[in-house]
C-alpha cells in the first residue's frame, strides 16, 4: 500500500514538473529568414541557452534536393518564449557521401580554415570525386585549387553571405570550372563546415538589431486599429 502511494506521489511530482515547464519556439538566424526550427521545453529560460537544434536545408528552403544537408544551430538568446540561435555548422548525411564515392575512383578531401570579411573563422571540408583513380600529384593540385578559391571567397564576404554561398549550388559549380583545367571531377561537395570563432562585437550588434525588430513587431501587433472616419465610411 505504501509503495503504491509512493508511486502515485512520484507520478504527481513528474506531472507537476512538466506543467511548470514553458515551451520555447526555436528561431533560425536572419541568414535563414528567422524561420521556426521547432520547440523545446524548460522550467528555466537559462537552461535553454546552449541547446543545439538541427534542421535540414530542405526544412528551411523547401528544396527537396537538399534533404541530405543537415544544419546545426545553437541557442544563444531568449526573448519572451522565443529562443534565438546562431548557425554553428553543417554536414551531409553519411549515405549521401557514400553514394558519391564508388569503387575504382579516387576521393579527394580538402580541410582548411577560412576567415570572413567580418571576422568569423570557419573550418571547411570539401570532397571531390573524379571518374577514375588519379595520381597523388594531381590530387594535391586539386586540393590546393579548392583551398585557394574558398579562402579568397571568404575574405570578400560577410559570414552570412559565405554561409549562403557554401550551402548553395553556386560553390560546387564554380569549383568544377576551376578544377577542369587540372582534372575534371565527377562530383564535388562542400560536405561540412564548422564555425570556430564568433567575433563578440558582431554578435552584440546582431542581437541589438534583432531586439529592435522584435520591439517594432510587438508595437505593430499591440497598436490599436484605426477607426475609419465619417468621410471614409460614406
What is the per-residue pLDDT across 28-83, written as a single tens digit (0 to 9) for each?
999 999 999 999 999 999 999 999 999 999 999 999 999 999 999 999 999 999 99
pLDDT confidence of residue 221: 56
**Confidence band of 101 (pLDDT split at 50, 70, 90):** confident
Identify the top-confidence range among 3-7, 152-156, 209-213.
152-156
**Confidence band of 104 (pLDDT split at 50, 70, 90):** confident
Q: How far apart are CA 31 and CA 218, in angstroms?
A: 21
pLDDT confidence of residue 233: 43
Q: Among 107-116, 164-173, 208-217, name the one with the lowest average pLDDT.
A: 208-217
Across 173-181, average pLDDT: 96
Global pTM value:
0.81
Across 191-215, average pLDDT: 75
Q: How far apart are CA 70 and CA 55, in angstroms?
A: 6
CB 169: neighbour CB atoms within 10 A?
A: 10
Percent pLDDT > 90 in the chain is 72
Does position 143 have pLDDT exceeding 70, yes or no?
yes
pLDDT confidence of residue 234: 42
Residue 37 near residue 73 (C-beta atoms within 8 A): yes
Q: How many Å from the N-terminal Cα to the C-terminal Cα in the chain?
A: 76
| 175 burial via Cβ count (<10 Å: 0-12, 13-18, 19+) | buried
pLDDT confidence of residue 232: 46
pLDDT confidence of residue 200: 79
Q: Which residues contact 146 (CB under 8 A, 6 or more apart)?
A: 110, 126, 128, 175, 178, 179, 188
Across 9-35, average pLDDT: 77
- DSSP lists the bridge partners of residue 185 as 130
pLDDT confidence of residue 103: 74
pLDDT confidence of residue 72: 98
Does position 218 have pLDDT exceeding 60, yes or no?
no
**Confidence band of 3 (pLDDT split at 50, 70, 90):** low
| 158 burial via Cβ count (<10 Å: 0-12, 13-18, 19+) | middle
Q: How far apart are CA 105 and CA 28, in angstroms?
A: 38
**Confidence band of 202 (pLDDT split at 50, 70, 90):** low
Q: Which residues contact 127 (CB under 8 A, 6 or more apart)?
A: 97, 100, 101, 107, 108, 109, 110, 187, 188, 189, 191
pLDDT confidence of residue 231: 47
Cα dist from 74 to 21, 39, 53, 77, 85, whole Å? 20, 13, 6, 9, 5
Amino acid at each position: 500500500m505504501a509503495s503504491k502511494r509512493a508511486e502515485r506521489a512520484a507520478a504527481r511530482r513528474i506531472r507537476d514538473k512538466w506543467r511548470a515547464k514553458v515551451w520555447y519556439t526555436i528561431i533560425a538566424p536572419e541568414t535563414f529568414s528567422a524561420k521556426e526550427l521547432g520547440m523545446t521545453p524548460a522550467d528555466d529560460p537559462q537552461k535553454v541557452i546552449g541547446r543545439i537544434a538541427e534542421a535540414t536545408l530542405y526544412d528551411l528552403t523547401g528544396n527537396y534536393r537538399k534533404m541530405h544537408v543537415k544544419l546545426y544551430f545553437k541557442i544563444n538568446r531568449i526573448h519572451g518564449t522565443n529562443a534565438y540561435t546562431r548557425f554553428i555548422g553543417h554536414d551531409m548525411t553519411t549515405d549521401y557521401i557514400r553514394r558519391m564515392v564508388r569503387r575504382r575512383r579516387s576521393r579527394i578531401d580538402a580541410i582548411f580554415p577560412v576567415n570572413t570579411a567580418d571576422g568569423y573563422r570557419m573550418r571547411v571540408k570539401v570532397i571531390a570525386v573524379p571518374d577514375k583513380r588519379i595520381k597523388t600529384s594531381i590530387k594535391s593540385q586539386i586540393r590546393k585549387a579548392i583551398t585557394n578559391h574558398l579562402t579568397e571567397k571568404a575574405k570578400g564576404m560577410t559570414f552570412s553571405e559565405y554561409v549562403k554561398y557554401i550551402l548553395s549550388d553556386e560553390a560546387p559549380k564554380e569549383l568544377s570550372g576551376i578544377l577542369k583545367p587540372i582534372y575534371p571531377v565527377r562530383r564535388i561537395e562542400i560536405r561540412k563546415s564548422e564555425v570556430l570563432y564568433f567575433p563578440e562585437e558582431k554578435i552584440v550588434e546582431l542581437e541589438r538589431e534583432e531586439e529592435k525588430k522584435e520591439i517594432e513587431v510587438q508595437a505593430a501587433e499591440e497598436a490599436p486599429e484605426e477607426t475609419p472616419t465619417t468621410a471614409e465610411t460614406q
